[in-house]
Structures are given as C-alpha cells and as structure tokens.
Amino acid sequence: YVPKHAALQTAGVDLLKLLITPLYGDKPEMGVRELLQNAVDARLELEDYLGKNPPLPRPDLQEQSADLVISITEKEDGTKWLSVSDRGIGMTVDTILNYFLKAGASFRFSHAWRRQHEDEQGQTQVLRSGRFGIGILAGFLLGNEIHVSTRHITAQPSEGIRFVCRLEDDTIQLKHTTRPVGTTVSIQLPETVYSKLSKGYINWHSHILKGPALSWVWYCLNEPSVHLSILGHPVEQIYVLPSADSDLPPEWRRVQHPDFRDIHWTYLGNALPLTCNGIAVIDLSKEYDEEDDEDEDFGGEGFTRPKLSVFDPNGALPLNLQRTGLSVKELPFEAELVKDICYDILAFLLVNTPSKRPPPGGQAGRNAFKAEHLRHPGANTDRWILFTREGLALLELWDTQLPRVPEIYALTSRRLLAVLGNKSFQPHIPFFGEKELENILRGFPGIGGAGIKGCRVILHKRKIDSLTQRNSRLQKGEFLERMLGKLWHQEWENDTWLLMKQGECPLQELKLDKLPPEEGSDFAELLTIIYPGSLPRGNSLLAETWRETMDLPYIPFDLEKRRELLPVAYSRLASYIQAWEHLGSRRE
C-alpha cells in the first residue's frame, strides 16, 4: 500500500460559504433556532453534570432573568445586536476548536460527551437536540461576525474564553477572559435581517403569527426557562407543551416506545404539528392552513395526523438536515401511535354515545341530535358509526358481530318509512347531506369498508333540480346520465319521486304508490337503502381494537347497562375516559 494518510477533507472556509444557502436559504430565523438549540443543550448538560457530581458547589452562573435570555438590543451608535446568553455548562478549548468551529463535527458523538452524559447501558441522559454539527453555519445567516464568550464548569473564573469569527478569517484568535460559567453569543444584525426578525409574519397551522413572533416560537417548554425580548419589549412564548414524564392535561395522550424517552400527541392542544425536545420542527416556507393530503389518511386508518411532541435523547427521530421535517414518511412509532388513537376513539364513543337512541334524519332529527357530537377530532368523517335499536356500533362490524342486518336506512323520517310500509329492524346513519347524496349518485356510498353489496335511492325530483343548479352547465338529462352512468339503473318513477338501484338488491317490497305527491314538512327528500354484504378481507385496526376491548358489538344507549356490560373496556380505557369526561365537563 502507499504509506500516505488519505481521508475525505473539506475545502475549509470556501465550502462553508457554499453550504449556508442550500441548507438554510435566506431565513435568519433558522439562525435564531440554532443558537437557541445550542443554549438549551448546554443548560441541560450542566444539570446532568451537577447531578452526577453532587459534592460540587453550585457554579457562579450568569445573573439574568432566565436560564436562557435571547434579546435584540440597540447600542448608542444605532446598531442592532442579537444576543443569546445561557446559564449552561460552557465550552472548553477542545470543544471550541474541534466541534464548535468545525462544521459537521457534532460534540454529542464524541467520546468525551458520551463518557459524561451516557449511562452504563449507553443511554443518553440529556435531551440534547443538536446532532449534525452545523449550528455555527446558521449563525452567519444573522450577521458577518459572531462574537463568543464562554467559560466551562471546570474552568476558573479567569479561564473563560472569548473570540470573534468571520467566514473570511483564515485564523481565529482565542483570548482568556473573566466571566461566569456559561456562554454568550452576540451578532450585529444588518438592517435587512433585523427587519425580518422583528416584522415578519407567517401562517403556522391556523395561528397567524405577526410581528416578532415569527422568529421566536421555536421553544415550547417551560424548562429550561427562556426569556425573549426585542428592544426591551418581552416576546410571549406562544406554545407551552407538557414536559417529558409529566402528568398530562386532558387534551394530551402518551405513547411509549423503547427508542424515545416520551411521546405526547394531541388533536385539541395548542401546539405545532411537530416538536422534538421542545423545539419546533417546521418548514417556514410551508402554509399550514392548507390541507395536507398525506395527513388525511394517517396510518392507513382514515385518521388525521395528530400534533406530536417527541422527547428524543438518542437522536432516533429521523429529522432532515435542516430540521424542517422528517426525512422519512412513516414515523418510527407510527404503529403504536395509530393503536393509541384507536383506544382514544373508543373511549370518546363510550363517553359521548347518547343516553337514548337519536331520531332518524331530516330536520327534526338534526334539531334533536348533532352528528358532530360523535365525530372524534382525529377522524376524517362521522360516517363510520351507526345506531341500532340497542346502541351505537361501528359500520364495519355489521356482518360478523351484529345480528344479520338486511338493510340500512339513511336520511329518512319515521313517517316516510311508515308510508313505505316497512317496519322491520331499522338501524340508520344520521344526516346525509347534499354532498353525500352526490357521492352516492356517483357510485360511492361513502362508508368505506362496510361491505356494500347493493344500494337503492328513493329521491325527490326536487333534489335533482337542486343538484342540477349546482352543475349549471349541464341540462337535467345530461346531468343524470353523467352522474348515474352505467352503475345505476332506474327501477321506477312518478311525477315526484325516482327510484334507482346499484349492485345486488333484493326484490323491493316498499309501497311506492303510497309516496306523497308533494313533500311534507316532516318528509325527507331522500331515502337511501344500503344492503350490506360480506366484509372485505382484513378489518381496520379500529375494528380489531373494538373486538379486543369491547365485550359487545355495540355501546348501549342506557348508561347503567353501558358500565355493567362493558367492564373490560372501562378498565382498559380508564385514563382516556377520564380525560374525555373532563373535557366534556369543561365544555359544559
């Protein structure tokens, strides 16, 4: 072999200049985030260090209003400066030279850091967020000079270090200074950068953050404490999330996974879509008020993705290099999360199932019961339940657990059923609207994996006129032809009503000649009769969770019977039930 040392190397400063824009773009907010992240890590490392060395006296820390103070101030000459001051562990000369000033070298992967902050099993004891070693690059998004002053916990008061670094510098001079334990980073802001940090705005997941809020929402925990200010004016911390291992408020749920210290999720809590170790993981260029198709069928179960707060000491969450999102589509704990959502939905139904069977659809039914009361915030629709004579059930359990149900009636009234001469067992799905009708006419009943073998629609012709008006470019005949196509077949009609069918439908025995020529105030405009067939292969996880948890194929309307007949469910889901009961009482 050739006796020469060979290794991949970088082109030094020139490469750093090329990396900044591709990594972060023209977003000085990212520089604030990286400096904040480093300061939070330093504070947590100090607490871990002191916890493992209890004989040591408490260090002389910087006197300031919080563990981390991030501020923009104006000097006498009119220049604006961003300062990040932490009461953390500080840096040694070795840390500065080999990690802080070396892009791509992460201190958390060094032997020195691991010896100090990992246990005997190699598990990290600190919720350290830095992992890529590129934080110094983001600092140059804020200004051309980075002024650093630091003192490590093991150093004497006069052994602190200060220096100034610029991208064009070939060498950086380190000088000793006397200061408290911790680190302070200061950067003079060009006017354009100051303007962006103090006056920008962005839409983040239904929150319009105007003014200085844009650059300052990154941190979402109470500990370590953070104080933010611009020209002496405090900046409110918009999001405050539960800490790791804490008792959760009723809006939040917890999932366990061996690779993570703690995982919290919520649909109702005030939170960003994703935070890791309390720091927001978000793409500043994305508008979060727009619907995200990837989230509309989360886990393949028809759920929406909840807001997540992940506590990840080992760097197991697959974040991309910019920390703006995940580098993979599926979460490492997705299976556990989807299962937990199923448990939460069942508890929600146990708490919110009405104490008596709601009336059928139509205006009278809408006045007596609102279907959205049974819409879990994680479900995309409330069409996944039905009411039987005894209680509430999942649509997809028709064939295997319910008594054989020959037909399901949707959006109807007692009087219309009586006129048609059908008084059989009639569970029903409440409150189809015009959009659902349009889907039915297009050949999509809209109730997912319920196992549909056929469907009939008895439709008041006035409803066709309404739908035709919404599609004004088509004549009525063209509209029906396009809507119905080859899937639907007309069975019967008169001047007022139209009967159509699709799929396999038994001989109809309804007394169609009894239908009123004009619609009365308590008559529906539509009666849909759905004939369930065999379930498709592989029930949903929600159905399987129901079977594992419930002792009945339905949740009884009667409250006493509900608790008496479902003891296993009330035991397994106790914490979820308690949370939903608390939320319900709070709304009342």
473-495: pLDDT as tens digits: 555 556 566 655 666 788 888 88
Residue 396 structure tokens? 């997809």
Q: Quick check: 335 pLDDT over 70?
A: yes
Q: Quick check: 444 pLDDT over 50?
A: no
Alpha-carbon gap, residue 240 to 464, rounded angstroms: 51
Q: Quick check: 296 pLDDT over 50?
A: yes
Q: Give the pairing of strands 160-166 and 145-151.
A: antiparallel
Angle at 34 between CA 328 and CA 246, to 5 degrees: 70
DSSP result, 15-72: HHHHHHHHHH-S-HHHHHHHHHHHHHHHHHHHHHHHHH-TTSPPP-B---SSSEEEEE
Who has greater pLDDT, 9 or 197?
A: 197
Please tell me the total number of residues recorded for the chain in this structure. Answer: 588
Q: What pLDDT, on a 0 to 100 scale, did the predictor assign at position 110?
A: 58
Q: What pLDDT, on a 0 to 100 scale, did the predictor assign at position 15?
A: 54
Q: Quick check: 376 pLDDT over 60?
A: yes
Alpha-carbon gap, residue 275 to 325, rounded angstroms: 10
Mean pLDDT across the chain: 76
Least reliable range by pLDDT among 197-206, 557-566, 577-586: 197-206
Q: Quick check: 514 pLDDT over 70?
A: yes
Q: Which residue has the tokens 């749920």?
A: 253
Place 368 in a pLDDT band, splitting at 50, 70 and 90.
very low
Tens-place pLDDT, residues 187-208: 999 998 888 887 754 444 444 4
CB 576 within 8 A of CB 344: yes
Q: What pLDDT, on a 0 to 100 scale, did the predictor assign at position 222?
A: 92
Place 558 in a pLDDT band, splitting at 50, 70 and 90.
very high
Least reliable range by pLDDT among 13-27, 145-159, 351-365: 13-27
Q: What pLDDT, on a 0 to 100 scale, did the predictor assign at position 365?
A: 44
CB 151 within 8 A of CB 157: yes
Who has greater pLDDT, 430 or 328?
A: 328
Q: Quick check: 510 pLDDT over 90?
A: no
Inter-helix orientation angle 28-52/191-199, to 10°:
80
Q: Quick check: 360 pLDDT over 60?
A: no
Most confident of 55-69, 348-362, 376-390: 55-69
Q: What pLDDT, on a 0 to 100 scale, did the predictor assign at position 544?
A: 85
Which of 198, 200, 211, 219 is CA-nearest to residue 282? 219
CB 390 within 8 A of CB 340: no
The tally of CA atoms less than 13 A away on the side-chain side of residue 92 is 9
Q: What pLDDT, on a 0 to 100 scale, did the predictor assign at position 363?
A: 43
CB 318 within 8 A of CB 327: yes
Residue 49 structure tokens? 């260090």
Residue 206 structure tokens? 């239904």
Residue 477 CA, distance from chain mean position: 45
Alpha-carbon gap, residue 331 to 336, rounded angstroms: 10
- Mean pLDDT of the region 261-276: 93
Residue partners of 138: CB distance under 8 A and separation at least 6: 20, 23, 24, 30, 31, 33, 34, 35
Q: Quick check: 446 pLDDT over 60?
A: no
Any idea what DSSP says for residue 382? S
Place 466 in a pLDDT band, splitting at 50, 70 and 90.
low
Most confident of 84-93, 283-292, 361-370: 84-93
Alpha-carbon gap, residue 328 to 320, rounded angstroms: 8
Residue partners of 554: CB distance under 8 A and separation at least 6: 388, 390, 391, 392, 393, 402
Percentage with pLDDT > 70 across the chain: 63
- Mean pLDDT of the region 67-81: 93
Who has greater pLDDT, 99 or 253?
A: 253
Who has greater pLDDT, 455 or 251?
A: 251
Who has greater pLDDT, 584 or 286?
A: 584
Question: Rounded to two decimals, what is the model's pTM?
Answer: 0.77
- Mean pLDDT of the region 323-328: 86
SS3 405: coil
Place 184 in a pLDDT band, splitting at 50, 70 and 90.
very high
CB 240 within 8 A of CB 221: yes
Inter-helix orientation angle 476-484/461-470, to 10°:
90
Q: Quick check: 383 pLDDT over 80?
A: no
Alpha-carbon gap, residue 19 to 133, rounded angstroms: 13
